Structure 1
Amino acid sequence: MPSHARNKLSARQVTTITKPGVYSDGGGLYLRVRPNGRSWQFIGTLKPKGQFRIKGTGGGTKVEMGLGSVSDVGLAKARELAAQMREMLLDGVDPRAERLKTKKADAPGESIITFGKFAIALIDSIEDGFKNPKHRQQWRNTLTTYAQPLFAVPIDKVTTEQILAVLQPIWLSKAETASRLRGRIERVLDAAKVKGLRTGENPARGRGHLDLLLPKRSKTAVKHHPALPFGSVAQFVTDLQGRPAVAARALEFVILTAGRSGEVRGMTWGEVDLGARLWTVPADRMKAGVTHEVPLSDAALKVLTSVHEAGLKPADYVFPAPRSGSLSDMALSQLLKRMGYGHITVHGFRSTFRDWAGETTQFGREEIEMALAHTVASSVERAYRRGRALEKRRELMTAWAEYCFKIPQNT
C-alpha cells in the first residue's frame, strides 16, 4: 500500500539532494531532480465521483502537473499549491483545465479585464491589511478554488446566473465556505464598480437578491461544526491519551481549554505563565482582536509539562511540527480521522464544552461565553469584573477537566 503521509521532505533536502530522481513529499507532491535543475510536480487522480487519490492507488483519470522550479517555488508554496490541487480533485474539478482557463484569461496583450485578473490584483492590494497570514491566504484560496469558473469572464459581464452556478454546489454542503465566497465575490465586484469597470447592481449581493434564489438553511448552518456529544468526551480523551504524538497533546489541550485550533497550534512558551497557571493569547492572534486570558486546570498544566523541555525559548512553539514551525490545521483533523472520528471537527469541541457547561452545570452564561473568548457586556463592565470572572472561569475549566477525565461508563 502506498504511504499517505505528507510533509516528508525537509527544506534542506529540497536544496541538497543531488541524485537524479523523483522524491515524494506526500499528498501527491513530488520533487523531480534532474542534472540541469529541480522542480515540483503534482500527481493525483480524478475519480468519477470526485474522490481524490494520490499516485498509485488506482482508478480514475491520472492528473499530472508541473508546479514550477524550486528556485521560483519554495517548499511551503509547493505544498500550498498541492493542497489546492487536491481540493479541486475532491470537488471533481480537473486543475489542468482550470489552469488553462486562467492562462487564457490572463494572456499577454489581452485588453479585456477579467474577473480573475481583477480579483488577484485586488487581493494583492489589500492583503497587507489582514493581520492574520492564514486569513490572507484563505481569501486567495477561496476565490481560486471555488470561483475559477468566473476567472475568464470579463469583469463587467459577470451575472447572477454565473455566480449561482459557483455557489449552488457548495451552498448547503460547505455552508461557511460558500457564505465567505459570496461575500468575497461581492467585494471584488464592488471594487470593480468603484474603478469604473462595472455599472448597476452587484449580482453577488445577498439580501434581497441571492437569498431569494439560493436554498434556505438554518441560521446556525453557516457556523455549524459537527461536534462530539459531551457524554462521549471522557471515552474520547481516554483514547486520545494513548497516542504519544504532539498533535494528540495539542488536541487534548484544545479540549481542556475550549480554545480554537489556531490559537493552540500557534501558542508559544512566552504566552504561558506556569506559576500563575495562566495562558495569555495576544490580541493579534485572537479572532476578535482582543487579548484573551485562559486559566489552566491541573490537567491542562500536565499537558504543558509533558511537552516542555529544557532550553526552550519564549518564541518556541508549545506544540511544534515534527520538523519545524507550528502544526498545520490538517494535523489535528487527520488525527481525528485516524481515531475513527472523521465525522466531527476540532472546532466542534468548543460546542461540546458549551453544551456540557450549559446543560449540566450552574455556571453563568457570562463565564461560559468568556471561556470561549466571546465578547460579553461592555468594556467597562469587563474591566471591573475581570478579576472575579477569571477565578470563576478557573473553577469552570477545572470542573470541565474533571468531567473529561472521569472514568468512561459502558452503556
Structure 2
Amino acid sequence: MAEKFNLLSAKFAASDNSKAGSYADGRNLYLRVGASGSKSWVFRWHYEGKPAELGVGPFAKLGLAAAREKAGELREAVALGASKEALKQLIRPKPEQPDERTFKFYAELVIKQKTASPKYRSKKALGQWTQTLTRYVFPTIGHKRPGEITVGDIATVLAPLWETKVETATRLRQRMETIIDYALAVEDSDSNNPAKWSERLKIRLGGDAEKNVQHHKAVPYRDIPGLMATLRAKDSTSAMLLRYSILTVARSGEARGLKWAEVNMAKRTVVIPASRMKNKKVAHRIPLNDEAVEILDAMATRRVEGQELVFASGVGPAKPKGVPLSDVAVAKALRLAYPAPEGERPFTPHGTARSSFRDWVANETNYSPEVAEWALAHIQTDKVVKAYQRSDLFDKRVTLMAAWGNYIAGKANISSIVNSKSAY
C-alpha cells in the first residue's frame, strides 16, 4: 500500500475551527492542536524500538510548507541512524552568522600587525591601544562594519572624554581613524573616514579640543632643588630613580630600563643603545654629574647577583634580573614629594625631569639651545644643522650637566654659569 502524505491542506492548518487533537500530514509530521487553540508541529518516529516524538516548532512561526521541509530533513537523519540529540540540533534555529569584518575585527588586525613590526617602538603603547579600545570603543561600535560607522558614532565614543580627558580622547580618535583607514583600504571603499578630524566632528563635540591637548605638567625649575632635598630623605628605589631622571634629564623608559651594562662608572657616562632610544636610530651618551654618580654607587650596593637592571623591581631568587620599575611607582614618589594644588592635575615625572631642565637652561644660563637639545636626546631636524654638526657636543654637555647638578644641589651662583661659545 502506497504511503500517504501531504494530507493536510494549508487552509485546514490555518483554520481556527480545528478541534483539539493531533492531525497527521504523513511522513512522520503531525499538527497538534491544543485545547486553547494553540498549534504546533510534531515529528513522530520509532527510536530504539519505542515511539518517540519531537516538537518541530509553533505553527505561528512555521507554516505547512516549512514544516514539511523540516520533517524531510529529520526523516533523512533518522534513516542515517541519528540520535535524539542530533535531531534536536536540527530543530534548533541556527543563529545568524554576523559579518566578521567588524571594526573590532580590523582593530585586532591593526594591533597584530603593529606587534609583529620591528619598526613599532613601544609595546606599552600597543597595550594602551588594546586597553582604550576595549574600554571606550568596542562597546559602542566594535560590532559595526567600518563602512557603517558615522560621525555621530565617533562623537558618541569621544563625548564623555572630550572635556575631562582631552589627551586620551585625541589619541583614541587617532586610533579609530587609523583602524577605519585600514579597513576602507582593505575593502577598496571610497567612503569617507568618520573618525578623521573634520568640521562635522568638531561641531558634534562642541569645539576644537584637540588644539588644547595638555602636555606633561612639570614642577617649576625654581622648585627643583627643594623637591630633590625631599627626595634625598627617601630611600625607596622609586625616589632614587626619580632623582636620577631629573639629574640626567632622561626619558622615563630610558631611565627605568637602565642596565648596568650601559653604565661606565670609570668614565662617568651612561650609553643608552639606539634600540632603547625613542628614535631607534642613534645611541645616546649621558655625562654623569656628581649626584648621579652617588645614586648609581648607592644602587650598586643593592645589586644582587644576576641583576641586570639598575632600578629593578621585584628582585628575588625567582627573578634575579628583576623587572623595570613602573611609571605608576615613580609618579607616586613625585606626587608624595611634591603634591599638586587641590583640584589641579598632578605633576609628571617626564615633565619634571625634562621640561624643568629646558626652562632652566633658557632662563638661567647662556648655554645654546643646541646643547640643551642634545642633552634631551632630541633629533636634530634642521638639515643645515645636521650637515655642519658632526659631534654630539658631549664636552659641552659635561659642563652643562655639572651646572645642572650644582643648581639642583643648591650651590650658590651656579645658575649664572655661562657658556658663551658657539655650539658648533
TM-score range, shorter chain: 0.5 to 0.7
Matched, 1:204 2:195: yes
The percent of aligned pairs where both chains have the same amino acid is 34
Query: Compared with structure 1, are the counterparts of its residues 395 and 263 closer, same or farther at alpha carbon in structure 2 (3 Å cutoff)?
Result: same
> Amino acid of the residue matched to residue 318 of structure 1?
V
2:328 to 313, 327, 330: 330
| 1:114 maps to amino acid | T
My pick for the range that moved more, 337-346 or 392-401, is 337-346
Aligned equivalents of 2:392, 2:191: Cα separation in 1: 54
Question: Could you say which residue in structure 2 is the equivalent of 1:356?
Answer: 360
- TM-fit CA distance, 1:176: 2.9
Q: Quote how far apart the aligned CAs of 1:210 are.
A: 3.7
Shift of the alpha carbon at 1:380?
8.4
Bigger Cα displacement from structure 2, 246-255 vs 337-346: 337-346
Give distance in 2, aligned partners of 1:363 and 1:314: 41
The superposition leaves residues 269-322 of structure 1 with CA deviations (integer Å, 9 ceiling, x where unpaired) of 111111221111111211122322111111111111110148767970010013
What does the per-residue CA deviation read over 1:64-89, in whole Å, with 9 as the maximum and x for residues that have no partner? Answer: xxxxxxxxxxxxxxxxxxxxxxxxxx
Q: Verify: 1:140 aligned to 2:138, yes or no.
A: no
Residue number among 308, 314, 322 corresponding to 1:316 in the alignment: 308
Distance in 2 of aligned mates of 1:244 and 1:207:
51
Q: Alpha carbons of 1:218 and 1:119: their partners in 2 closer, same or farther (altered >3 Å)? A: closer
Provide closer, same or farther for how the CA distance between residues 383 and 284 of structure 1 changes in structure 2, counting only shifts above 3 A: farther
**Of the candidates 332, 344, 347, which is equivalent to residue 344 of structure 1?**
347
Specify whether residues 199 and 379 from structure 1 end up closer, same or farther in structure 2 by C-alpha distance, changes over 3 A only.
closer
Looking at structure 2, the residues matched to 404 and 386 of structure 1 have their Cα atoms a distance apart, in angstroms, of 31
SS in 2 for 1:263: helix
Partner of 1:195: 186
TM-score of the aligned structures, taking structure 1 as reference length: 0.66
CA contact (8 A) 1:270 1:313 kept: no
Whether 1:397 aligns to 2:401 is yes
Distance 2:250 2:96 in 1: 48
Tell me the amino acid that sits aligned with residue 125 of structure 1.
Q
Residue 131 of structure 1 and its aligned partner are, at CA, apart by 3.3
Q: State the 1:407 CA deviation.
A: 6.6
Q: CA RMSD in A?
A: 2.8
Taking structure 1 as reference, are residues 226 and 381 closer, same or farther at Cα in structure 2, changes over 3 Å only? closer
Q: Residues 315 and 190 (structure 1 numbering): CA distance in 2 closer, same or farther, change over 3 Å?
A: farther
Give the Cα separation in 1 of the matches to 2:369 and 2:204: 37
Q: Which consecutive residues of structure 2, in runs of 5 or more, have no partner in the other structure? A: 1-94, 316-321, 341-345, 413-424
CA distance in 1, matches of 2:194, 2:221: 43
What CA distance in whole angstroms lies between the structure 2 residues aligned with 1:108 and 1:125?
A: 30
Larger radius of gyration, structure 1 or 2?
2
Q: Is the 8 A contact 2:106 2:182 kept in 1?
A: no
Number of aligned positions between the proteins? 301
Match of 2:420 in 1: none
Equivalences for 1:12-411 in 2 at 5 Å?
Answer: 109-129=97-117, 130-148=120-138, 149-196=140-187, 198-206=189-197, 210-211=201-202, 214=205, 215-217=207-209, 219=211, 221-222=212-213, 224-289=215-280, 290-309=282-301, 316-323=308-315, 324-341=322-339, 343-349=346-352, 350-376=354-380, 382=386, 385=389, 387=391, 389-406=393-410
Deviation for aligned residue 1:198: 4.9
Structure 2: distance between partners of 1:134 and 1:379: 31
Please tell me whether the aligned partners of residues 226 and 344 of structure 1 are also in contact (alpha carbons under 8 angstroms).
Answer: yes
Q: Which stretches in structure 1 are left out of the alignment for 5+ residues?
A: 1-106
Query: Aligned partners of 1:294, 1:242: CA distance in 2, in Å?
Result: 25
Deviation at 1:141, TM superposition (A): 2.1
Q: What is the SS of the residue equivalent to 1:294?
A: strand
Contact 2:146-2:184 at 8 Å conserved across structures: no
Q: Would the aligned equivalents of 1:230 and 1:356 in 2 still touch at CA under 8 Å?
A: yes
Whole-Å separation in 1 of the counterparts to 2:376 and 2:327: 19
**Cα distance change of structure 1 residues 340 and 393 upon mapping to structure 2, 3 Å threshold:** closer
8 Å contact kept, 1:261–1:347 = yes
Per-residue CA deviations over 1:342-396 (Å, capped at 9, x if unaligned) read: 5201111111111111111110010111111112255785586455711111111
**Distance change (3 Å), C-alpha of 1:364 and 1:207:** farther
Deviation at 1:139, TM superposition (A): 2.4
The 1:388/1:339 distance shift into structure 2, 3 A limit, reads closer
Contact 1:268 1:314 in 2 (8 A): no
The separation in 2 between residues aligned to 1:314 and 1:132, in whole angstroms, is 26
**Structure 1 residue 329: Cα displacement:** 1.1
Q: Is the 8 A contact 2:121 2:278 kept in 1?
A: no
